[in-house]
A and B are shown apart, each in its own frame.
Chain A
Amino acid sequence: DADVTQTPRNRITKTGKRIMLECSQTKGHDRMYWYRQDPGLGLRLIYYSFDVKDINKGEISDGYSVSRQAQAKFSLSLESAIPNQTALYFCATQGLEPPNEQFFGPGTRLTVL
């Protein structure tokens, strides 16, 4: 089983709809991240959480919100989806032991019509 899972893997929705993307991990990591990737570009950080009670905005948090329901779960919501939020979304976790690498989920491809 994958260490970091994301649901759904693909989603098509309409402008104005509320959408939730979910991330679960079995690695026991406290740190979790949400990124988006647009075609031809690198990943950009939306939100991150260093533990259940710690939520921080990333570089592109406008239009998004998050919820850290438990150590293992970190959800990303689009309150009112718009077409320019069409992108590939990745969740990641990070441990505190060297090499401190981030482990990424398989991604969610979101299309907003």
Chain B
Amino acid sequence: DAKTTQPPSMDCAEGRAANLPCNHSTISGNEYVYWYRQIHSQGPQYIIHGLKNNETNEMASLIITEDRKSSTLILPHATLRDTAVYYCIVYTGTASKLTFGTGTRLQVTL
């Protein structure tokens, strides 16, 4: 599975957009970009995934660069409940298992 690089921590003011970057320069053509988050010590929770097109769901938006070497997860209006560790993972979706890095710790503040 391709390796990902994320900043260890970020801050965001409540109500503002949180933009979490991820580099995955060795991503293969059949690998998707998945995002999960882990709130405190709970089990990780799936947020969104994409292959090459930008994606949006009720939780977030995912912007993938044209060369697919990086992506950005956008939480459009961050709330205190979005404080969590966010993991960017690349994998094929079915053929292999998830490999978690250390993620980005997002702190949303008043």
Contacts and interface: CB of A to CB of B under 8 A. Distances in A.
Most buried by B among A58, A104, A105: A104
A12 interface: no
B71 to A, nearest CB: 15
Interface of B is mostly: loop
Contacts of A105: 43
Contacts of B87: 42
For this complex, into which size category does the number of interface residues on chain B fall? 10 to 19
Given A99-B49, A101-B49, A42 B42 contact: no
B93 A104 contact: no
Interface stretch (B14-22, B23-31, B74-82, B96-104): B96-104
Interface of A: 4, 33, 35, 40-45, 48, 58, 88, 90, 92, 96, 98-107, 109
7 interchain residue pairs of minimum CB distance: A104-B43, A42-B100, A101-B46, A43-B100, A100-B93, A42-B102, A42-B101
